[in-house]
C-alpha cells in the first residue's frame, strides 16, 4: 500500500477529513444570508466523505433546485459520501462524483452557492477562487475555508513551519484582497474554534491510530503517518493563537 492508500484507509473512517463542524458550516451559511425562497444550485468542492455536503443538504432542504454537486478526486471518499447520504435519507439531495475541482466538470454561470471546506489549499487559494468564479451566477455566493494567519506577524517557529508546509498561507486581509482582485465582493469571515480542530478532527483521527497501525503491521509508512498526525496536533495545541481555518464568504457582483 502506498502512502495515499494508507491515508485513505485512515481518513475514510472519520466523519470529516479536515477541521470543521456542522456549527461552523451553519454559521457560514447564516453569514452568507442565502435567500431561502430562491431555488438554489449548489456545489461542494473537495467534499471528502461529505461532512459539509450532508450538513448543507439538511439545512437547505427544499431550497435546493437540484441535488448538491459534491466533487472529490478520491473515489473511496465519494463512495463513502454516497453511503452516508443514503443512510441519512439524503440521497436525493446529493449527487457525488469523482472529479478535479481544479477543472470542475460544471458549466459556467450555473451555481448559486459554491462551497469548499479545508480543500482549496490543494490547488491554491488565488488559483481556486479565480477558476471557480465563472461557475457562479451574478449574485452567487462563494464559501471557502482556508488555513490563514490570525495576525500580521507571529513567532519564528510557527512561521517557519507553515511557510515550509504550506507556502500559500497568508493573512485574512491578503485573502480578502485576493477575492476582490478576482472580482468578488467580500461579505465576511470568521475563524473556526479550537474544538473544530481538536474534538472534531485530531481526537477522532487519534482514536483510530492504534487500529490503523494494527491493520498495517506497524509498517514504517503507517508509523510515519501517525507520528506526523501527532506532531501536527501538538503544533496546533502549542500555537493555535497564530493560525487557524478561516471561512471566507464572498459574492459575485449583481444589481440589487
Ligand atoms: N471538505 C472535506 C472535509 O472538510 O471533511 C474534506 C477536506 S480534506 C482536508 C481535502 C479534500 O480535498 C480531500 O478529500 C481530497 O481528496 C480533496 N482534493 C484534493 N485535491 C483535489 C482536487 N484537485 N479535486 C478534487 N478534490 C481534491
Residue 255: per-residue pLDDT? 79
Q: What ligand 1 atom has the least distance to the C-alpha of 17?
A: 5
Q: What ligand 1 atom has the least distance to the C-alpha of 51?
A: 5
33-to-42, 55, 138, 222 alpha-carbon distances in Å: 14, 16, 15, 43
Domain-wise residue ranges, the chain: 18-192+242-251
To test the ligand 1 pocket, which listed residue (54, 72, 232, 245) has its Cβ within 8 A of the most ligand atoms?
Answer: 72
Q: What ligand 1 atom has the least distance to the C-alpha of 48?
A: 14
CATH of domain 18-192+242-251: 3.40.50.150
pLDDT greater than 90 at residue 121: yes
Spell out the residues 6+ positions from residue 205 whose beta carbon is closer than 8 angstroms to its own. Answer: 10, 11, 14, 229, 233
Helix (H, G, I), strand (E, B) or coil at 142: strand
Q: What is the pLDDT of residues 62-109, one digit of tens each?
A: 999 999 999 999 999 999 999 999 999 999 999 999 999 999 999 999
pLDDT greater than 80 at residue 36: no
To test the ligand 1 pocket, which listed residue (15, 20, 73) has its Cβ within 8 A of the most ligand atoms?
Answer: 73
Q: What is the pLDDT of residues 144-171, one digit of tens each?
A: 999 999 999 999 999 999 999 999 999 9
Q: Which residues pair with 244 in a beta bridge?
A: 148
Q: What is the pLDDT of residues 216-246, one digit of tens each?
A: 999 999 999 999 999 999 999 999 999 999 9
Residues in contact with ligand 1 by the CB-under-6-Å rule are 16-18, 20, 46-48, 51-52, 71-74, 77, 100-102, 117-119, 122-123
CA distance 11 to 190: 26
Cα(236) to centroid of ligand 1, in Å? 20
Q: What is the mean pLDDT of residues 5-23?
A: 97
Amino acid at each position: 500500500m502506498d502512502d495515499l492508500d494508507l491515508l485513505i484507509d485512515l481518513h475514510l473512517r472519520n466523519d470529516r477529513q479536515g477541521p470543521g463542524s456542522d456549527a461552523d458550516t451553519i454559521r457560514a451559511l447564516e453569514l452568507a444570508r442565502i435567500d431561502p425562497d430562491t431555488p438554489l444550485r449548489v456545489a461542494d468542492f473537495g467534499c471528502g466523505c461529505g461532512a459539509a455536503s450532508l450538513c448543507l443538504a439538511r439545512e437547505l432542504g427544499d431550497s435546493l433546485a437540484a441535488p448538491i454537486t459534491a466533487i472529490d478526486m478520491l473515489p473511496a471518499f465519494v463512495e463513502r459520501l454516497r453511503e452516508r447520504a443514503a443512510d441519512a435519507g439524503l440521497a436525493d439531495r446529493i449527487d457525488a462524483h469523482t472529479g478535479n475541482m481544479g477543472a470542475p466538470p460544471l458549466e459556467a454561470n450555473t451555481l448559486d452557492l459554491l462551497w469548499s471546506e479545508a480543500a482549496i489549499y490543494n490547488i491554491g487559494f488565488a488559483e481556486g477562487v479565480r477558476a471557480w468564479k465563472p461557475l457562479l451566477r451574478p449574485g452567487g455566493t462563494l464559501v471557502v475555508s482556508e488555513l490563514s494567519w490570525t495576525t500580521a506577524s507571529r513567532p519564528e517557529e510557527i512561521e517557519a513551519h507553515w511557510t515550509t508546509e504550506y507556502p500559500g498561507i497568508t493573512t485574512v486581509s491578503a485573502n480578502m484582497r485576493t477575492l476582490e482582485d478576482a472580482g468578488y465582493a467580500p461579505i465576511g469571515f470568521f475563524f473556526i474554534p479550537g474544538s473544530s480542530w481538536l474534538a472534531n478532527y485530531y481526537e477522532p483521527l487519534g482514536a483510530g491510530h492504534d487500529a490503523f497501525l494494527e491493520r498495517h503491521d506497524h509498517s514504517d509508512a503507517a508509523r510515519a503517518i501517525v507520528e506526523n498526525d501527532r506532531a501536527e496536533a501538538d503544533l496546533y495545541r502549542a500555537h493555535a493563537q497564530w493560525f487557524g481555518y478561516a471561512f471566507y464568504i464572498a459574492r459575485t457582483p449583481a444589481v440589487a
